[in-house]
Amino acid sequence: MTDLRTSTFPKDFLWGVSTSAYQIEGAVTTDGRGQSVWDTFCATEGKIADGSSGALACDHYHRYPEDVALMRELGVRAYRFSIAWPRIQPDGVGAANRHGLDFYDRLLDSLCEAGIAPVCTLYHWDTPQAIEDTGGWLARDTAARFADYAAILGEAFVDRVRMWIPLNEPTVETLYGYAIGEYAPGRTLLFDALPAAHHQNLAHGLAVGALRSAGAEQVGTANNHSPIWPRTASAADREAATVLDALINGLYADPVLLGSYPESMWPYLPEGHAEDLPTIAAKLDFYGVNYYEPQGVGAPSPGNPLPFDLAPIEGWPLTTNGSPIVPSGLSELLLTMRDRYGAALPPIYLTENGCGGDDRLDAAGGVPDAHRIEFLTAHLDALSSAITAGVDVRGYFVWSLLDNFEWSKGYGPRFGLVHVDYSSQVRTPKDSYRWYQSMIRNGR
């Protein structure tokens, strides 16, 4: 690992932080917001580790001025947040709910006033329940509904949003939400979940068109990507790695960037899917990569209905939540993407990177999180070496500004640069907040 002092970033590099609506906003029944699949999922016994939900979360809906002030003080140049679809269209269809638009109007105005560029994700998994009830992402029609929603947002906010991201991490939603049921909507369809992936891709393409028609200039995407590491060099493990790589990485990036699906995915996609590829491959201005860790894989054990076994990544330090810390996986991923997609790959932004911890207030009222400073330092070094090797990376967003609701893990893992006391809602900047502040100031 090189020393961070050797890692210098360009002057106009876009330093930011990321959050998402359901994880921080709370106020789930306020101002006409409709029910989302996550409200339903959290209310289902046994789905969330600590039995919690995003009903209050960080109460950002009411406390956003304080959160914007924290970002201003931090010195970030951009803020990536998501809009809650059920605030704008409570049932996912029809006219916009004025109160929902008003909230994001207020947020955008405060960001602009603070000199922070808004990076807007249209959708971070909080599908209106009414849309799920008519098939959710398994239904082709949801892509058309999503395009209507995108048109509403484009028209309302194009004057202030700097960069647009239609869907966050469709891979994760298809696999965790529809294939194995760990996330909302909790379906366990295994490979039969893949039509959801295609419909999300189509929704992405249609939304790009709707946003462009509204005058949006910078439109991209944000996908979670992981290098796939076979457990051994055996042919069987490598073959399993090829399938998992297609599922985790290729299923989204290939159609979006190359206009084709990996061949191994064809049998699971809806009939006629190829006709949608030109829409899905709409030209993008940037590609957002969310990176956390590599994924290990081996040949399937007897009785496994899937063509692979997931395997742990061994021999690396672990975060307090047990995830391997592999900064070199980031440079490996970026170089692989550059080689695979070549000229089809637009400039990259690291739209998420960070680690969970069990961060607590100390006796002096601070929050020491040296583990996060180390994690971020090592990943920025890896990013810097990928840039030096010629990958066009234009910005970096820490996940996350605030500790927040970590989906099925509830409030256990804390990912924030700012500690949140969930009972008093007091925000306390952690040591990593000060570190990132100085990093941004000095560009190195």
Q: Considering the complex, what minimum distance in angstroms separates the CB of residue 164 from ligand IFM?
A: 18
Q: Is the distance from CB of 111 to CB of 60 less than 8 angstroms?
A: no
Q: Considering the complex, what minimum distance in angstroms separates the CB of residue 45 from ligand IFM?
A: 23
**Is 155 annotated in the active site?**
no
- CA–CA separation, 156 and 86 (whole Å): 16
**Is 352 annotated in the active site?**
yes
User: Which residue in the list 173, 293, 352, 406 is annotated as catalytic?
Assistant: 352
Q: Considering the complex, what minimum distance in angstroms separates the CB of residue 410 from ligand IFM?
A: 12
What stretches of 370-430 show up as alpha helix (H) in DSSP?
370-388
Nearer to ligand IFM, 366 or 410 (CB): 410
Nearer to ligand IFM, 23 or 201 (CB): 23
Nearer to ligand IFM, 352 or 359 (CB): 352
Among residue numbers 410 through 429, which ones bind ligand IFM (CB under 6 A)?
A: 415
Nearer to ligand IFM, 261 or 405 (CB): 405
Among residue numbers 252 through 291, which ones bind ligand IFM (CB under 6 A)?
A: 290
Q: Considering the complex, what minimum distance in angstroms separates the CB of residue 238 from ligand IFM?
A: 27
Nearer to ligand IFM, 20 or 129 (CB): 20
User: Which residue in the list 169, 173, 293, 406 is annotated as catalytic?
Assistant: 169
Q: How far is CA 360 from CA 363, 365, 403, 413, in A?
A: 10, 9, 11, 11
If one asks whether residue 406 binds ligand IFM (CB under 6 A), the answer comes out as: yes
If one asks whether residue 126 binds ligand IFM (CB under 6 A), the answer comes out as: no
- CA–CA separation, 201 and 298 (whole Å): 28
Q: Considering the complex, what minimum distance in angstroms separates the CB of residue 352 from ligand IFM?
A: 5
Q: Which of 399, 411, 435, 436 binds ligand IFM (CB under 6 A)?
A: 399
Cross-sheet strand order for the sheet of 163-167: 163-167, 117-123, 78-82, 14-18, 393-399, 348-352, 287-290, 222-224
Contacts of 133-138 with C-beta under 8 Å, sequence gap 24+, read 136/37, 136/178, 136/185, 136/196, 137/173, 137/174, 137/178, 137/195, 137/196, 137/199, 137/200, 137/203, 138/178, 138/187, 138/193, 138/195, 138/196, 138/199
How many residues line the site for ligand IFM (CB under 6 A)? 9
Q: Locate the DSSP E strands across 306-423.
A: 309-311, 348-352, 393-399, 418-420
Nearer to ligand IFM, 196 or 240 (CB): 196
If one asks whether residue 36 binds ligand IFM (CB under 6 A), the answer comes out as: no
Nearer to ligand IFM, 20 or 279 (CB): 20
Which of these, 397, 302, 352, 402, lies nearest to 70 by C-alpha position? 402
Phi, then psi, of 61 in degrees rounded to 5: -55, -35
If one asks whether residue 169 binds ligand IFM (CB under 6 A), the answer comes out as: yes
Which of these, 49, 70, 67, 60, lies nearest to 27 by C-alpha position? 60
If one asks whether residue 20 binds ligand IFM (CB under 6 A), the answer comes out as: yes
Among residue numbers 177 through 196, which ones bind ligand IFM (CB under 6 A)?
A: none
Q: Would you call the peptide bond into 278 cis, given omega within 30 degrees of 0 as the criterion?
A: no
* Dihedral angle sign, alpha carbons of residues 102, 105, 110, 111: positive
Among residue numbers 297 through 356, which ones bind ligand IFM (CB under 6 A)?
A: 352
Q: How far is CA 285 from CA 155, 282, 378, in A?
A: 19, 10, 28
If one asks whether residue 223 binds ligand IFM (CB under 6 A), the answer comes out as: no
Q: Considering the complex, what minimum distance in angstroms separates the CB of residue 222 from ligand IFM?
A: 9
Q: Considering the complex, what minimum distance in angstroms separates the CB of residue 158 from ligand IFM?
A: 25
Q: Considering the complex, what minimum distance in angstroms separates the CB of residue 5 from ligand IFM?
A: 28
* Dihedral angle sign, alpha carbons of residues 170, 171, 173, 177: positive
* 300 DSSP 8-state letter: P
- CA–CA separation, 400 and 354 (whole Å): 7
For 401, counting Cβ atoms within 10 Å of its Cβ (0-12 exposed, 13-18 middle, 19+ buried), the class is buried
Q: Considering the complex, what minimum distance in angstroms separates the CB of residue 124 from ligand IFM?
A: 6
Nearer to ligand IFM, 171 or 385 (CB): 171
* Tokens 């603070």 found at: 114
Phi, then psi, of 242 in degrees rounded to 5: -65, -40
Nearer to ligand IFM, 80 or 231 (CB): 80
Q: Is the distance from CB of 206 to CB of 282 less than 8 angstroms?
A: no
Q: Is the distance from CB of 378 to CB of 327 less than 8 angstroms?
A: yes
Which residues are tagged catalytic?
Answer: 169, 352
List contacts with ligand IFM (CB under 6 A).
Answer: 20, 23, 169, 224, 290, 352, 399, 406, 415
